[in-house]
């Protein structure tokens, strides 16, 4: 079963309304947001990290980067580092590499999501491939995945201050 099919079955099983939207093949979250004509802050991208040697999934808005110090504090880990694609690809055998949806619960991974997603809005994310996104209510996502919500984004204003 492909990732998208697995995800759709899970959403239907849990009676969650959603839409799948097609777009031209794109590989970065910002390209996807632009092709879908949605603000990057509404599109969740997935970043895989190793926290004290254990894999975890982070979900954050497309335009932002992970602040490893904040992530370390949130995850309660001494060391957090970004995972390389070859290190995590096997954990998502039914997804195209780099296009995983923020549903780590379907893959036995803990999920952490940045608190900057507005809870009463729609939420977009990749459907396990590089040419489709899923749109659903953020509140439904939180109900299903039960992610740890916290702050780990590096915002542009913080980036410019630290340079």
> Domain extents for the chain?
3-157
pLDDT tens figures, 139-148: 999 999 999 9
Q: What pLDDT score was predicted for residue 38?
A: 83
How many residues are recorded in the chain? 163
For the chain, what is the largest distance between any 2 Cα atoms, rounded to a whole number of angstroms? 48
pTM of this structure: 0.91
Residues of the chain with pLDDT under 50: 158-163
Q: What pLDDT score was predicted for residue 31?
A: 79
Fold exhibited by the domain 3-157: YbaK protein (3.90.960)
Q: What pLDDT score was predicted for residue 37?
A: 79
Q: What pLDDT score was predicted for residue 120?
A: 77
Look up residue 82 and give its two tokens: 């970004």
Q: What pLDDT score was predicted for residue 162?
A: 44
């Amino acid at each position: 079963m492909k990732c998208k099919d697995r995800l759709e079955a899970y959403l239907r099983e849990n009676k969650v309304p959603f839409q799948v939207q097609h777009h031209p093949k794109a590989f970065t979250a910002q390209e996807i947001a632009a092709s879908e004509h949605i603000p990057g802050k509404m599109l969740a991208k997935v970043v895989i990290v190793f926290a004290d040697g254990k894999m975890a999934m982070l979900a954050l808005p497309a335009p932002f980067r992970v602040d490893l110090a904040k992530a370390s504090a949130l995850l309660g880990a001494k060391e957090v580092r970004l995972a390389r694609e070859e290190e995590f690809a096997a954990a998502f055998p039914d997804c195209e590499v780099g296009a995983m949806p923020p549903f780590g619960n379907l893959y036995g991974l803990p999920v952490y999501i940045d608190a900057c997603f507005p809870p009463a809005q729609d939420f977009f994310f990749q459907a396990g491939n590089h040419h489709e996104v899923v749109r659903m209510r953020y509140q439904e996502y939180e109900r299903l995945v039960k992610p740890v919500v916290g702050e780990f984004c590096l915002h542009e204003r913080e980036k410019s201050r630290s340079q």
